[in-house]
Amino acid sequence: MKEASTIIVLLGVLVLLFALSIPPDEPELILLVVREDMSLGDIGRTLQDTSVIGHRFLFTAAFWLHSPTSIESGGYRLTERMGAWRAVKVLIGDAQLRWVTVPEGLRKEEVAEIVGTVLEWTVVQQEGFIAAYQSGVYAEGVYFPDTYLIPHDATGGEVAERMIAQLNEVLEPYTEELLVQNIKWTTVLKLASLIQREAAYDEEMSLVAGILWNRLLQDMRLQVDATVQYVRGDSGDGWWAPIHIKDKNIDSPYNTYLYKGLPPAPIANPGLAAIEAVIYPEETNCLYYIHDDNRRIHCSATYKEHIRNIERYLKD
């Protein structure tokens, strides 16, 4: 009986300590970022270091008194000296900012689906993201692939602006090099989007870039399947299903089987490796390439060699 009374008293003291953690009149807003690899101790130390709580022991005690299973990774809006009890109540709820990872090489409809799933958007909200920028250089290719921490209540326009800002930050260090080479950043993004779709491996992107630059300089049609996939859209088997021979006749300025030069805008959102490949392409005399069954690139300088590669790598 005496042990039970002692436990009750200790719990009462803890609850009192939490209740007395009164925030100041104008508390400073603290954004706590919780990563997947953070332990409970890591979170407690961060809360203590940012003065959200007085001591991480109180946070640990409050957490176990609530008996939650885990704290979701993401971002949480807390305030300075809000106290362990109130901090835990926020942290065991839904994250106010969500981690969203956007892979390379997707068109914006696919990006909208990924972001919309994490942020729990309606179909209308996803359509708002897709329609945020419909024309010109912002039509496609400017939503930089990365991992973002996005407010759960963010609009499609806000998310689009965030991704464009990230792209601008990524491109900034290459500004001088683009001036030296006299390459427009719109050209970089168009060509990088083709490379992103064509090269399955980062280490082969500079080779593909070299080949496509060679074809452009020799006024050859690029004949990139991915541009036809972009024009065709969702075939029922996904946005990027293999093309058929008849698809190569689709009349569109994006179709590089019919029209010379680059498409009017990017066809997907390229990552940094593809962007760097455009700026620093591999020197090669190749004008043609094929993919083998493992998506590896095999290139050739002449059409005759190209046919031999087809017979060697693609025919049984």
Per-residue model confidence as pLDDT tens digits over 163-199: 999 999 999 999 999 999 999 999 999 999 999 999 9
For the chain, percent of residues with pLDDT exceeding 90: 76
**Residues contacting residue 49 through CB under 8 Å, at least 6 positions apart:** none
Are 100 and 162 a contacting pair, CB within 8 Å?
no
Rounded to 5 degrees, φ, ψ at 230 are -65, -45
**How far apart are the C-alpha atoms of 25 and 101, rounded to whole Å?**
38
Tokens 């039970």 correspond to 4
Are 18 and 87 a contacting pair, CB within 8 Å?
no
- On the question of pLDDT at 17 being above 80, the answer is no
Are 143 and 303 a contacting pair, CB within 8 Å?
no
- Shared domain check, 288 and 182: yes
Q: What is the CATH number of the domain that holds 20?
A: 3.30.1490.480
Task: Identify the DSSP state of 21.
Answer: -
- On the question of pLDDT at 135 being above 80, the answer is no
Predicted local confidence at residue 62, as pLDDT: 87
Task: Identify the DSSP state of 28.
Answer: P
**What is the count of structural domains for the chain?**
3
- Give me the domain span that covers residue 246: 171-313
Once rounded to an integer, what is the mean pLDDT over residues 51-62?
88
Q: Kindly state the helix (H) or strand (E) to which residue 147 belongs, with its residue range.
A: strand 147-151
Once rounded to an integer, what is the mean pLDDT over residues 221-235?
95
Strands 29-34, 74-79: pairing is antiparallel
Predicted local confidence at residue 316, as pLDDT: 62
- Shared domain check, 162 and 76: no
| Confidence band, pLDDT 50/70/90 cuts, at residue 25 | low
Q: pLDDT for 247-269, tens place per residue?
A: 999 999 999 999 999 999 999 99
| Confidence band, pLDDT 50/70/90 cuts, at residue 6 | very low
Once rounded to an integer, what is the mean pLDDT over residues 80-88?
90
Domain boundary among 95, 116, 140: 95
